[in-house]
Amino acid sequence: MTDAQYDNWLADLSAPRIVLCELDYAGSTEYVSSHPYISKPTDSAANRIYDDLLIEAVDIETRIDGLISFGDITLIDDGEITHWVSRAWQGHSIRLYLGGPDWSRDDFRLHARGINGGITSARRGEITFAMDDQSTVLDEPIDTGELPDDGGPVPLALGSVYNAPAYRTSDGTQYEYKASFLPCVSLTPKEGGSTTLTVSNYASEGRFVLDAPVSLDLTVDIEEQHSTPHLIAEWVAGQYGITVGDINMPDYTVGLYYNSEVTGRQVLDDLCAGLGAYWYLNRLNELVMRQHTVPTTADITLFDDDIEYDQIGLSETEPPWSSLTLRWGRNYSALRTVAGVIEDNEPTEAARLKREWSESKATQDVDDYPLAEDATRDSCIANAADATTERNRLLALKAVRRDVYSINAFMPVVEVGQAIAVEHPRMQGRIGRLLAVGRSPTRSTTSLEVWL
């Protein structure tokens, strides 16, 4: 069966559907379904029996902000599976497949993949499992090792980092400092902002050694190879064994720095913040990351007849921005005292060394909206030109009021992030972006949130 044939089957509301559920646990897998099913002898998994124990398959909501929510998986327990309660389920994989009752197993499509949250209820006649989003793996801290003497984690620097602290890792007369867990392209140690130090530089090891102690604050500029949003996203995905899907981000020079415990989710969130971007894991557990843009052409059209009666309405309005202050080039160790040579000869650099952020500001005419917002956003952008480009893009995006509509529609084949035109009097064919898609394999309608 081709993908086009499968999509046509999904669009046929009268087509019978069944859900196959594969529940891994320590040592093996159990196969259950919402309808009796045995795979065919010619299937890649031949003659596999799926017991029809599935009462309730999870509802799935995927959101453009990276949050995915699942319902529960409830199984019939007539006494035959009571012993399942003692098994180790939590943390193992759950896979849901959707297809027709007379199909080959190989024609079923993956409907959702998640992590077993464990048994939430076990009573007479039922066992219920929680199903967690696959992105929970990104909540595990990234192991960067530890600094000596309980100094905390070794810092994680990604991309272009300005004026980060450096941590001494030696005793006695040697002055060795650690700047980054990852290998670096270059390290520029500074004393009170001055780069006149005598230093042995081991950037590929993320460290350097001074010939003598310093009297002013020691900091370091770091250039690490993952210096664009795409490269950082790929690095995070690689750390957690996640496949990279659609990443559509600008080639801005960016930098992120962490000197305390950090997770992959935090890195992705910080990367998207201030870039008008979002990320999520799709149903194939691939990392998707894109910037918010106003669509001009639709990927899919939803017609009036596709919408459940009286199930379309305005749920939120977002005021435009009268101004935007985009903070960029974060100073990770603002100085109180700057070297005299910098104060005297480089006043602009001296001022930057003393403040946490550089700022790119602009205003726009939104006289029709007296309550328009004066917005401020922090970003990981590392240079002024990229900050100006992104500031102007974000301002244009918020030059008018934006609306969010909630819709219940009859099983449209849609994904988060797609552009959708809605032919309904309330929306008059306007093209919007799908912020959220909530679907159930057992219901004929899909809940949508559309941003215009």
Segment 222-243 mean pLDDT: 97
What pLDDT is stored for residue 62 in this prediction? 67
Q: Which residue has the tokens 């009462």?
A: 55
Q: Are residues 90 and 191 in the same domain?
A: no
Banded pLDDT at 68 (limits 50, 70, 90) = low
Query: At 58, is the secondary structure helix, strand, or coil?
Result: coil
Q: Are residues 124 and 188 in the same domain?
A: no
Kindly list the distances between the CA atom of residue 32 and the CA atoms of 58, 81, 144, 426, in Å, as whole numbers in the listed order: 14, 11, 41, 43
Q: Domain for residue 358, yes or no?
A: no
Is the distance from CB of 437 to CB of 415 less than 8 angstroms?
yes
Banded pLDDT at 56 (limits 50, 70, 90) = low
Segment 425-452 mean pLDDT: 83
Which residues make Cβ contacts (< 8 Å) with residue 395, sequence separation at least 6? 321, 324, 362, 364
List for the chain the helix, strand, coil content (%; round to 5). 15, 45, 40
**For residue 380, which amino acid is it?**
C
Query: At 393, is the secondary structure helix, strand, or coil?
Result: helix
Q: What does the DSSP 8-state code read for residue 197?
A: -
Banded pLDDT at 412 (limits 50, 70, 90) = low
Percent of the chain with pLDDT over 90: 71
Give the E-state strand segments of 249-306 in sequence order. 255-258, 277-281, 286-291, 300-303
User: Is residue 442 pLDDT above 90, yes or no?
Assistant: no
In degrees, rounded to 5, the angle at the alpha carbon of residue 375 between the alpha carbons of residues 370 and 379 is: 165
Segment 146-170 mean pLDDT: 94
Percent of the chain with pLDDT over 70: 95
φ/ψ of residue 259, rounded to 5 = -115, 20
Q: Which of 201, 223, 245 is the last residue of a domain?
A: 223
**What's CA 241's distance to the chain center, in Å?**
15
Which residues make Cβ contacts (< 8 Å) with residue 3, sequence separation at least 6? none
Least confident of 7-11, 404-408, 441-445: 441-445
What pLDDT is stored for residue 108 in this prediction? 94
User: Is residue 67 pLDDT above 70, yes or no?
Assistant: no
Q: Are residues 124 and 190 in the same domain?
A: no
Question: 300-303 and 419-423 as β-strands: parallel, antiparallel, unpaired?
Answer: parallel
What pLDDT is stored for residue 59 in this prediction? 62
Q: Are residues 128 and 163 in the same domain?
A: no
Segment 281-296 mean pLDDT: 87
Q: Are residues 91 and 203 in the same domain?
A: no
Nearest alpha carbon to residue 411 among 6, 2, 1: 6
Q: Are residues 174 and 56 in the same domain?
A: no
Banded pLDDT at 66 (limits 50, 70, 90) = low
Range of the domain at 104: 3-137
Q: Domain for residue 148, yes or no?
A: no
Q: Which of 137, 172, 204 is the last residue of a domain?
A: 137
Q: Domain for residue 445, yes or no?
A: yes
User: Is residue 340 pLDDT above 80, yes or no?
Assistant: yes
What pLDDT is stored for residue 285 in this prediction? 80
Which residues make Cβ contacts (< 8 Å) with residue 388, sequence separation at least 6? 360
Tokens coding 166 = 């450096």
Nearest alpha carbon to residue 327 among 290, 291, 352: 352
Q: Domain for residue 439, yes or no?
A: yes
Tokens coding 287 = 């990392």
Q: Domain for residue 337, yes or no?
A: no
**What's CA 311's distance to the chain center, in Å?**
29
Q: Which of 223, 240, 259 is the last residue of a domain?
A: 223
User: Is residue 248 pLDDT above 90, yes or no?
Assistant: yes
**Run of H or E residues at 384:** helix 384-397
Q: Domain for residue 133, yes or no?
A: yes
Q: Domain for residue 392, yes or no?
A: no
Q: Are residues 98 and 178 in the same domain?
A: no
Tokens coding 77 = 């327990």
What pLDDT is stored for residue 112 in this prediction? 78
Least confident of 320-329, 414-423, 442-451: 442-451
Q: Are residues 306 and 172 in the same domain?
A: no
Question: Over the stretch 116-138, which tens digit does the pLDDT of each residue have?
Answer: 989 999 998 999 998 887 788 89
Q: Are residues 121 and 43 in the same domain?
A: yes
Q: Domain for residue 346, yes or no?
A: no
Q: Are residues 65 and 185 in the same domain?
A: no
Q: Are residues 212 and 312 in the same domain?
A: no
Widest distance between CA atoms in the chain: 83
Q: How far apart are CA 363 and CA 253, in angstroms?
A: 24
Question: Over the stretch 263-281, which tens digit does the pLDDT of each residue have?
Answer: 999 999 999 999 999 998 8
Question: Over the stretch 321-334, which tens digit does the pLDDT of each residue have?
Answer: 999 999 999 999 99
User: Is residue 37 pLDDT above 90, yes or no?
Assistant: yes
Domain count, the chain: 3
User: Is residue 155 pLDDT above 90, yes or no?
Assistant: yes
Q: Are residues 43 and 126 in the same domain?
A: yes
Segment 185-206 mean pLDDT: 94
Q: Give me the chain's average pLDDT, please.
A: 91
